[in-house]
Amino acid sequence: MMLSLMGRVFNSRDLIAAWTSRTIRARYQQSALGWLWAIIQPAAQVAIFAIIFTLFVPVNTGGTPYVVFSYVAMAPWAFVASSLPDMANSLVANMSLVTKIYFPRQALPIAAMLARLMDFGLAASLILVLLVYFQVPVLFQAWLFLPVILGIQMMLVLGLGLALAAANVFYRDVQSLLTLVIQLWFYASPIIYPVSLVPERLRAFYFLNPMAGIIEAYRDVLVYARVPGMYLVTSAIVSLVILVVGYWFFKRVEFQIADIV
Amino acid sequence: MSSRIQFEHVSKKYKLGLTRTSLPSVISSRLKRGLQRGASGNIDRQELWALRDVSFELGAGESLALVGRNGAGKTTILKLLANITKPTSGQVTTRGQLSALIELGAGFHPDLTGRENIFLNGTILGLSRQDIKRRFDEIVDFAELGRFIDTPVKRYSSGMTVRLGFAVAACIEPEILLVDEVLAVGDASFQQKCLKRIQALVRNGTSIIFVSHNFYLVRAICERALYLEEGQIVERGNALDVIARYERTLHQERAEKFEGAPRAQTVSGADLEITKVQVVDADGNAADALPSNQPAQVQIHYNAYRDVGCVSASAHIIRSDGLTCCEMRTSLDNVQFSLKRGQGVVSVTLEPLQLITGTYTVEGGFLNESDSMGIVVGQSDWFFVKGDGLSYEERNGVFRPRTRWEHHNGITNGGSDGQ
Residues 6+ apart with CB under 8 A from B120: A18, A19, A22, B107, B108, B109, B112
Say yes or no to pLDDT of B266 above 60.
no
Alpha-carbon distances, residue A42 vs A139, A246, B128, B282 (angstroms) = 25, 28, 36, 88
* pLDDT for A1: 67
Q: Does B407 touch chain A if contact means CB atoms closer than 8 Å?
A: no
* pLDDT for A108: 93
- Percentage of chain B modeled with pLDDT above 90: 12
d(CA B234, CA B72): 11
Say yes or no to pLDDT of A73 above 90.
yes
Our CA-based measurement puts residue A36 at a distance from the nearest CA of chain B, in whole angstroms, of 20
* pLDDT for B414: 53
Say yes or no to pLDDT of A198 above 80.
yes
Q: Does B128 touch chain A if contact means CB atoms closer than 8 Å?
A: yes
Residues B278-297, mean pLDDT to the nearest whole number: 84
Tell me if the bond preceding A65 is cis, omega within 30° of 0.
no
Q: Does A100 touch chain B if contact means CB atoms closer than 8 Å?
A: yes
Alpha-carbon distances, residue A248 vs A2, A165, B62 (angstroms) = 10, 13, 38
User: Please, which pLDDT band fits residue B38 given cuts at 50, 70 and 90?
Assistant: very low
DSSP B356: P
For B3-18+46-249, CATH gives: 3.40.50.300
Q: Convert the pLDDT of each residue in A33-47 to its tens digit.
A: 888 888 999 999 999
Average pLDDT, chain B: 80
Say yes or no to pLDDT of B276 above 60.
yes
d(CA B94, CA A102): 13
Residues forming a β-bridge with B98? B176
* pLDDT for A261: 54
Residues B73-79, mean pLDDT to the nearest whole number: 89
The verdict on a CB contact (< 8 Å) between A100 and B126 is: no
Residues of B in contact with A14 (CB under 8 A): 123, 127-129
Alpha-carbon distances, residue B161 vs A101, B105, B106 (angstroms) = 17, 7, 10
* pLDDT for B39: 43
- Tell how far CA A228 is from the center of its chain: 18
How many CB atoms are closer than 10 A to CB B39?
10
Residues of A in contact with B112 (CB under 8 A): 22, 25-26
One-letter amino acid of B50? A
* pLDDT for B257: 57
* pLDDT for A97: 81
DSSP B355: B
* pLDDT for A181: 96
Residues A56-63, mean pLDDT to the nearest whole number: 88
d(CA A188, CA B107): 39
Q: Could you give the count of Cα atoms lying within 13 Å of A46 in the half-sphere of its Cβ?
A: 24
Q: Convert the pLDDT of each residue in A97-155 to its tens digit.
A: 888 778 888 999 999 999 999 999 999 999 999 999 999 888 888 999 999 999 999 99
- Mutate one of B16, B123, B127, B155 to test the A interface: name it (highest A CB count within 10 A): B123
Alpha-carbon distances, residue A216 vs A46, A74, A156, B121, B416 (angstroms) = 17, 11, 15, 42, 92
Least confident range from A154-163, B43-52, B143-152: namely B43-52
Residues of A in contact with B98 (CB under 8 A): 102
How many CB atoms are closer than 10 A to CB B18?
13
Q: What is the pTM of this model?
A: 0.72
CATH class of B272-393: mainly beta
For residues A223 and A66, the answer to whether their CB atoms sit within 8 Å is no
Residues forming a β-bridge with B66? B211, B226
- Tell how far CA B353 is from the center of its chain: 23
Q: What is the DSSP string of B28-50?
A: HHHHHHHHSTTS----S-EEEEE
Residues forming a β-bridge with B278? B299
* pLDDT for B261: 42
Residues in chain B: 419
* pLDDT for A9: 75
- Percentage of chain A modeled with pLDDT above 90: 69
d(CA B256, CA B246): 15
A42 vs B321, higher pLDDT: A42
d(CA A257, CA B54): 23
The verdict on a CB contact (< 8 Å) between B85 and A15 is: no
User: Please, which pLDDT band fits residue B418 given cuts at 50, 70 and 90?
Assistant: very low
H or E element, residue B124:
helix B114-124
Cβ-count burial B176-189 (b if 16+ within 10 Å, e if not)? bbbbbbbbebbeee
One-letter amino acid of B83? N
Q: At what angle do helices B114-124 and B129-143 cross, to 10 degrees?
A: 120
Domain ranges across chain B:
3-18+46-249, 272-393
Say yes or no to pLDDT of B390 above 60.
no
B248 vs A165, higher pLDDT: A165
Which of these, B168, B79, B76, lies nearest to B126 by C-alpha position?
B168
Q: Convert the pLDDT of each residue in B343-384 to its tens digit.
A: 889 999 998 888 887 788 888 888 877 777 777 788 888 888
Q: What is the DSSP string of B155-197?
A: GS-HHHHHHHHHHHHHTT--SEEEEES-TTSS-HHHHHHHHHH
User: Please, which pLDDT band fits residue A70 given cuts at 50, 70 and 90?
Assistant: very high
DSSP B416: G
ipTM for the predicted complex comes to 0.75
The verdict on a CB contact (< 8 Å) between A19 and B102 is: no
The verdict on a CB contact (< 8 Å) between A19 and B119 is: no
A-B CB pairs within 8 A amount to: 71
